[in-house]
Amino acid sequence: MIRLDKVRKVYPTRFGAKLVLDGISFELRKGERLGVLGRNGAGKSTMVRLISGAERPTSGTVERTMSVSWPLAFGGAFQYALTGQDNVKFISRIYGQNVERNLAFVQEFAELGPYLREPVRTYSSGMRARLAFAISMIIEFDCFLIDEIASVGDARFHARCNYELFEKRGDRAMVIISHDATYIRDHCNRYAVLEQGALSMFDDFDESYAFFSQSIGLATSTAGLSVRATGRAEALSALYHLAIADERFRVHVQQGDWARDRHDWAKAEAEYGKALALHPYERTYWAQLGHVLREQGRDSAAEICYRSACALGQPALDLQPFLEFVQARAHPHEPAVPIRSLERGATSAQPPSYPDLCILIRAVWGGSAIAAEEARSLLRAHATLDDLLEALLDDPRAQAIALSASAENDQPREFEDSALFIVDAIWLQRFCYIAMPAFDTSTVDSAALQEHWQTCLYTLIENHNGFEGWPKSHHKMADFARHARARSAIVYHENAHG
């Protein structure tokens, strides 16, 4: 058995003491597999190191009446100056193991080849994790500590790890930490959520996941995220990494993936939509959303998603068959329009995605909504962002907003049959990713934006020469912004003085 009793862990820092674990207690018996959920920095890895004995608690006790592994995928047990082979020999002798048998197993399992005879300090993190896992398997611990092993290696390596752990050693105790909630759901029979130093225990995965989702605050605004880049491709790459690092985003896509696996298309659509509302420039889940819409027969909406995914950087070869299918099924007599992919080069020459379309429409058409068929037609008809913006500026709806500058009907942009994209308080920051990718979006005043969005937008365009280098639409947009800003100032003055 492993028992933690009122364990606290405090680290001294130059800013003062940092409390990581605040009196956590639990017991783990043989055959129990505890999966631990928690946001980045919550203290999950610290807890595992305390259980292993690699660190000592500040106060409280850690009692072990069974043998415990070091954290799998953790290289702290190695002597980095020794070769991998010498590390195997050293650890084997400490635990009284057969050296030759263990060397043969590690060489076959870790697949390090000649690197096994090289110093561990020359290994990549993945190679060290493979060696750590293989060495852990040569010693028959009663309890295995698994810290993000699912993130190491390819699918074949994962399958071999799962066989060694969960089939050959299915009777052992385990503590599993992973950002992949599916991995925890599939391999654990007890669950815990670590948040703000406190550990909450659950016997039901759904209850633990619901508590975890609530604890990280799914409704929290994404305001404050800032991206500076020299071009669109670089900005999209940075935005993609922001998305996959956001735990709220991962929770929604996890729920969407589970619903998709159950063929619950409506639930999957809703969860993917919520994820993309948080991070509309994350390309992968535009493709997943397209698949879900295709399964529901919503082919125009699915086509928009596939086009958006490729415009944001998803490989066109992966989605071309799906695009051709939905085009043919929805409009069999219409000529196919090839998919367009993100390329290096000027932002103005890049293909538009649905988030771009929504943001540009909001900027030049004000509160006008857009239906799926019209969105599809616009994305098909205009090969570049410059082409699209020129067409939007030439539309009568742009002239109407320039003349009225009224935001009374300022509603989020949606498909008429599916709320795929929610325009929130940071939409102007997203606008900057299109108009001025190198602009520091953290300087945007979101509070002022919410009250006087048009004045803020058009002032930003004028002051920072928005859409510079867009040959077809730059001058049109500058004229539009100047007229709309002047008109919005008049409207604001009239409203303020009755």
CATH of the domain at 33: 3.40.50.300
Predicted structure pTM score: 0.66
Residues 209 and 232 in one domain: no
Residues 170 and 239 in one domain: no
Mean pLDDT across 87-99: 90
Of 190, 215, 240, which residue is a domain's last?
Answer: 215
Residues 197 and 225 in one domain: no
Which residues, 6 or more positions from 411, have their beta carbon under 8 angstroms from its beta carbon? 367, 369
Q: Of the segments 144-153, 208-217, 301-310, which one has the largest average pLDDT value?
A: 301-310
Q: How far does Cα 345 stand from its chain's mean position?
A: 25
Give the rounded percent of residues in the chain with a pLDDT score beyond 70.
81
State in Å, rounded, how far the first CA of the chain is from the last one.
75
Q: Looking at residue 323, what is its pLDDT?
A: 93
* pLDDT tens digits along 417-467: 443 444 444 666 777 778 776 666 666 665 555 555 556 677 777 777 788
Same domain, yes or no, for 120 and 238? no
**Is the domain of 202 the same as that of 345?**
no
Contact of 58 with 213, CB cutoff 8 Å: no
* d(C-alpha 283, C-alpha 76), whole Å: 36
> How confident is the model over 311-325, as pLDDT tens digits?
999 888 889 999 999
| Average pLDDT rounded to a whole number, residues 79-94 | 90
Residues 180 and 259 in one domain: no
Determine the pLDDT at residue 400: 73
pLDDT bin (cut points 50, 70, 90) of residue 287 is very high
Q: What is the pLDDT of residue 51?
A: 95
Q: Where in the sequence is the domain holding 282, given as residue range(s)?
A: 220-498
Give strand pairing partners of 442. Answer: none
pLDDT-based confidence at residue 408 (cuts at 50, 70, 90): very low
Sign of torsion, CA 226 230 232 234?
negative
Q: How many angstroms separate the Cα of 86 from the Cα of each of 78, 138, 247, 462?
A: 10, 15, 40, 66
* Mean pLDDT (whole number) for 231-254: 83
pLDDT confidence bin for 370, thresholds 50/70/90? confident
Domain stops at, among 181, 215, 249: 215
Is the pLDDT confidence value at 149 over 50? Answer: yes
Same domain, 69 and 91: yes
- Please, are residues 57 and 50 in contact by the beta-carbon 8 Å criterion? yes
Residue 87 shares a structural domain with residue 230: no
Residue written as tokens 């063929």?
Answer: 263
**198, 344: one domain:** no
**398 falls in which pLDDT band (50, 70, 90)?**
confident
- For 178-225, the pLDDT digits (tens) are 877 878 888 899 999 999 899 999 999 888 988 887 777 654 444 444
Query: pLDDT-based confidence at 111, cuts 50/70/90?
Result: confident
Kindly state whether residues 164 and 229 are assigned to the same domain. no
Q: What is the DSSP string of 338-402?
A: ------SS-GGGSPP-HHHHHHHHHHHHTT----HHHHHHHHHH-SSHHHHHHHHHHSHHHHHHH
Which pLDDT does position 261 carry in this prediction? 87
- Looking at the structure of the chain, the number of domains it has is 2
Together in a domain, 176 and 258: no
Q: 164, 182, 215 — which closes off a domain?
A: 215
Q: What is the mean pLDDT of residues 119-147?
A: 86
What burial class does residue 114 get, using C-beta atoms within 10 Å of its C-beta: 0-12 exposed, 13-18 middle, 19+ buried? exposed
168 with 135, same domain: the answer is yes
Lowest mean pLDDT among 119-123, 138-142, 413-417, 437-441: 413-417
